[in-house]
Amino acid sequence: MTFAATMLTLYPEMFPGPLGVSLAGRARDDGKWSLEVVQIRDFAIDKHRTVDDTPAGGGAGMVLRADVLGASIDHARTHNPVSPIIAMTPRGKPLTQARVRELASGPGVIILCGRFEGFDERIFAARGVEEVSIGDIVLSGGEPAAIMLLDACIRLLPGVMGAASSGTEESFEQGLLEYPHYTRPVEWEGRTIPEVLRSGDHAKIAGWRKAQSEIDTRLRRPDLWERHQGARVQSASGARHEQKEPG
């Protein structure tokens, strides 16, 4: 089945952009995903093709109009009838690999890319739009964020990455950062590859990688580490609970 992506944007020329090359580009050529790009301005209702207006209550910037957005979403729905609708916004719920996996296993996605100060809030409830952020940074628009989200989904589509990389050992998949990698030359500018990786002892290598993954997560991402520890404690007590029940 083809994963159907629909982009709603004021800058259609930004697509496919990086998604037209490499893994994503080949996957699109192979029909593993499709892209429809919709110009939001085509759904403006006045002769000046206005898409935004001043914020109610005053203040800086402009706000994308709910009526124009609503009409563009309704149009997208006719081509992409069941996919979730996502708006890229720094006010959204942070994107996670778990949500990316869910999206990638579904029919596709309709993505609303904002510009200016943002969207008229009424659009979210009116069209069942999920607000998603790609991190605590502010971009000049949702397009680069949408490209990130799509890229993360596309690489997980069946047959896109190939058998060699199932993706299950990667950062975040086990709730931890991935272990560090090395390749030849064995020595470079006086720096060597850790001895254990050259030992050929697969059990020892696996142990080293697990330890590195834990150390790096603890030092670099204490938030992930805390969650991982919490999940471990919970699953251990769940296991004890299950063992007790039969007796």
Q: What is the CA radius of gyration of the chain?
A: 23
Distance CA 123, CA 73 (A): 10
Is the peptide bond prior to 16 cis by the omega test (within 30 degrees of 0)?
yes
Distance CA 173, CA 50 (A): 43
- Answer yes or no whether residue 142 interacts with ligand ADE by CB under 6 A: yes
Binder of ligand ADE out of 7, 88, 104, 110 (CB under 6 A):
88
Kindly state the smallest distance separating residue 36's Cβ from ligand ADE, in Å.
20
Kindly state the smallest distance separating residue 101's Cβ from ligand ADE, in Å.
19
Kindly state the smallest distance separating residue 86's Cβ from ligand ADE, in Å.
10
Q: What track of x and - describes contact with ligand ADE for positions 215 through 244 (by CB under 6 A)?
A: ------------------------------
Question: Over the range 100-111, which residues count as b (16 or more CB within 10 Å of their CB) and which as e?
Answer: bbebbeeebbbb
Kindly state the smallest distance separating residue 211's Cβ from ligand ADE, in Å.
33
- Answer yes or no whether residue 157 interacts with ligand ADE by CB under 6 A: no
Strands 3-9, 108-113: pairing is parallel
- Answer yes or no whether residue 61 interacts with ligand ADE by CB under 6 A: no
Kindly state the smallest distance separating residue 90's Cβ from ligand ADE, in Å.
4
And the tokens for 24?
């994503």
CB-nearer residue toward ligand ADE: 145 or 150: 145
CB-nearer residue toward ligand ADE: 84 or 142: 142
Q: For ligand ADE, which stretch binds (CB under 6 A), given 30-38, 83-91, 100-108, 234-242?
A: 83-91
| Footprint on residues 89-128 left by ligand ADE (CB under 6 A) | 89-90
Q: For ligand ADE, which stretch binds (CB under 6 A), given 13-21, 54-62, 132-140, 158-166?
A: 132-140
User: 129 pairs with which residues across the strands?
Assistant: 85
Binder of ligand ADE out of 6, 83, 133, 213 (CB under 6 A):
133
Strands 52-53, 3-9: pairing is unpaired
Is the peptide bond prior to 12 cis by the omega test (within 30 degrees of 0)?
no
Among all chains, which residue has been given the structure tokens 């603890």? 218
Cβ atoms within 10 Å, residue 185 = 10
185: helix, coil or strand? coil
Kindly state the smallest distance separating residue 111's Cβ from ligand ADE, in Å.
10
64: helix, coil or strand? strand
Binder of ligand ADE out of 56, 60, 137, 203 (CB under 6 A):
137
Among all chains, which residue has been given the structure tokens 């502010």? 138
- The answer to whether 87 and 144 are in contact (CB under 8 A) is no
Binder of ligand ADE out of 44, 69, 112, 134 (CB under 6 A):
134
Q: Where on the chain is the footprint of ligand ADE (CB under 6 A)? A: 88-90, 133-135, 137-139, 142, 145
